Amino acid sequence: MFERNLLLVISGPSGAGKGTICKALVDKHPESMQCSLSATSREVRPGEIPDKTYYYIGKEKFLSKIEKDQFLEYAEVYGNYYGTLKDEVQRLFSLKADVILEIEMQGALQIREKSKEAILIFIMPPSFKELRARLLRRKRDCEEDIQNRLDKVASELKYIKDYDYIVVNDKLEDAVSKIESIIVAEKCRMDEKTLDIETFIKDI
């Protein structure tokens, strides 16, 4: 009666563990949590699965969707476009789930402007040394790409002040549990729109 579904935005430096945390959350709560699948103009990387990792729609189609106002937010990152489709988020909310957007900071700020109720969580690695080690261990990006991602970290950290919560991803289980606690607290937050007193009073 008093529950509301949440829009959670998860950002942080590349390699901090955003994808790992989001997967762990959805695996633990398959009924109540869903990750929004983004659209991108970039190419499929080895190991990625179309319509599972991203909707790979190419630049022309991406630009046409911008024109048609079909994105909740979008941004250009490392020369490619990435965006959250309005349709996708509506579909996930219709499943009565909390919806997670794993997106970078420019997109997160667009969400903040559109929805005061969105919850912005910044994932921090325990140290810069560990961040580099994780990017190397992931064995996904070439040396040049890893360096580009590390070079961006200082400028990305300037956005921290715009977020509601910071979660340090040292031990994965602890980071997941902190986000679960944030969700519980946010669902208990006083919110007049969802406070269904009328229905409660009818039964008195």
Binding site for ligand ADP (CB under 6 A): 12, 14-20, 134, 137-138, 169, 171-172
Instruction: Give CA 143 to chain center in angstroms.
Output: 26
163 near ligand 5GP, judged by CB under 6 A: no
Number of H helices, E strands in the chain: 9, 9
Measured over the CA atoms of residue 159, residue 70, residue 191 and residue 177, the dihedral's sign is negative
Q: How far is the CB of 27 from ligand ADP (least distance, A)?
A: 13
Between CA 162 and CA 108 the distance in angstroms is 9
Long-range contacts formed by 145-150: CB under 8 A, 24+ apart: 148/78, 149/13, 149/14, 149/15
Over the window 116 to 155, marking each residue x when it contacts ligand 5GP by CB under 6 A and - when it does not, the resulting string is: ----------------------------------------
Cβ distance to ligand ADP smaller for residue 15 or 107: 15
Q: Name the amino acid, one letter, at 41.
A: S
137 binds, among ligand ADP, ligand 5GP, none (CB under 5 to 8 A by kind): ligand ADP
Cβ distance to ligand ADP smaller for residue 5 or 53: 53
Q: Which residues bind ligand 5GP (CB under 6 A)?
A: 14, 38, 42, 73, 75, 77, 82-84, 102-104, 106-107
